[in-house]
């Protein structure tokens, strides 16, 4: 069985996120692992340093049928990222292992320039077991719920019009800090 790998390198174009991406943040979780991709139009040195080595907080919440991962960097850089396992093809879906084997999942964080697709920062961070156990529970709940892609995007739109990212952060039952403040 052959396996394909995607190689990411700082200074090179991202192979999936092509040039002229909108600014924003995306969370994905599948057999390849957990990934957060952040696209900014001309990331500043402070933003690059914040993503590559600064401290930040992960927030995890489930509102209705939508899982929200929020990352809040110390440089006033915050992204709310809705997620549904139903948007991942069944053969690529993955659920974290059970708590008895758990040490937390790793998340790859990538910062790229939205106009060019060039990668400016890469980082790999781990999460606390409690955070990952909650994420696993949310995924299992999503799999039991009926799904319609159209209804999902309508729900995301309704949630983001009703709640600010700060509201989601305040209401998130799970938080995990990465790194230390300087």
DSSP string, 78-110: EEEEEE-GGGS-GGG---PPPGGG----EEEEE
In a domain, 142, yes or no: yes
Give 17-64 as a DSSP string. Answer: S-SSPPSEEEEEEETTEEEEEEEESS--HHHHHHHHHS-EEEEEEEET
CA separation for the pair 15, 13 (Å, rounded): 6
**Residue 32 burial (C-beta neighbours within 10 Å; 0-12, 13-18, 19+):** middle
Count of structural domains within the chain: 1
Confidence at residue 52, expressed as pLDDT on a 0 to 100 scale: 92
Q: What are the pLDDT digits (tens) for 96-149? A: 776 556 577 889 999 999 999 999 999 999 888 888 889 989 999 999 999 999
Let me know if residue 178 belongs to a domain.
Answer: no
In a domain, 9, yes or no: no
Query: 3-class SS at 16?
Result: coil
| Residue 120 placed within a domain | yes
The answer, yes or no, to whether residue 179 has pLDDT greater than 90, is no
Q: Is residue 165 one of the residues assigned to a domain?
A: yes
98: containing domain:
24-171
Distance CA 44, CA 90 (A): 38
Q: How confident is the model at residue 169 (pLDDT cuts 50, 70, 90)?
A: very high
Provide the pLDDT for residue 3: 45
Does a structural domain hold residue 18? no
* Per-residue pLDDT tens digits for 16-68: 887 777 899 999 998 888 899 999 999 999 999 999 998 899 999 999 999 99
12 belongs to a structural domain: no
């Amino acid at each position: 069985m052959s396996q394909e790998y995607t190689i990411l390198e700082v200074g090179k174009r991202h192979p999936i996120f092509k040039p002229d991406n909108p600014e924003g943040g995306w969370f994905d979780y599948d057999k390849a692992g957990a990934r957060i991709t952040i696209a900014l139009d001309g990331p500043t040195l402070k933003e690059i340093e914040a993503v590559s080595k600064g401290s930040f907080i992960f927030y995890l919440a489930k509102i209705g049928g939508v899982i929200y991962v929020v990352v809040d960097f110390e440089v006033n850089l915050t992204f709310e990222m809705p997620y549904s396992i139903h948007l991942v093809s069944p053969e690529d879906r993955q659920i974290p292992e059970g708590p008895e084997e758990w040490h937390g999942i790793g998340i790859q964080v990538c910062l790229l320039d939205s106009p060019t697709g060039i990668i400016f920062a890469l980082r790999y961070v781990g999460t606390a077991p409690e955070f990952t156990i909650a994420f696993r529970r949310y995924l299992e709940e999503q799999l039991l719920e009926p799904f319609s892609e159209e209804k999902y995007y309508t729900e995301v739109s309704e949630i983001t019009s009703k709640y600010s990212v700060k509201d989601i952060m305040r209401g998130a039952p799970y938080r995990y800090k990465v790194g230390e403040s300087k």
